[in-house]
Amino acid sequence: MRKIAIIMPAVLLLAIYSFAQTSVELIPTAGYTFASRTDFYNNYGRIADGLNLGGSIKFNINRGTVI
């Protein structure tokens, strides 16, 4: 009985995901920061130059799919 209680939800989840028509999109990003200096009252702030790397993951899920 325990095996059926474990297998049935797994089968249902696989069936839902097969009809969902989901897609995954990976979006890489890159940028560059130039050196800068900002003056304050009695001091100054400095930003060094450098490379900025990042990215994001986008999931598209069909509206008709209920999870």
8 exposure class (CB count in 10 Å sphere: 0-12, 13-18, 19+) = exposed
Q: Per the confidence metrics, is the pTM higher than 0.85?
A: no
Give the pLDDT score at 41: 85
- In a domain? residue 66: no
Give the pLDDT score at 20: 52
pLDDT along the chain (67 residues), means of 10: 69 61 78 89 88 85 61
- In a domain? residue 67: no
**Number of domains observed in the structure of the chain:** 1
Q: Which residue has the tokens 């130039």?
A: 34
- Structural domain harbouring 13: 2-60
Q: How far apart are CA 55 and CA 52, in angstroms?
A: 10
Give the pLDDT score at 50: 92
- In a domain? residue 10: yes
Token pair listed for 15: 């069936």
Convert the pLDDT of each residue in 17-31 to its tens digit. 555 555 777 889 999
Percent of the chain exceeding pLDDT 90 equals 18
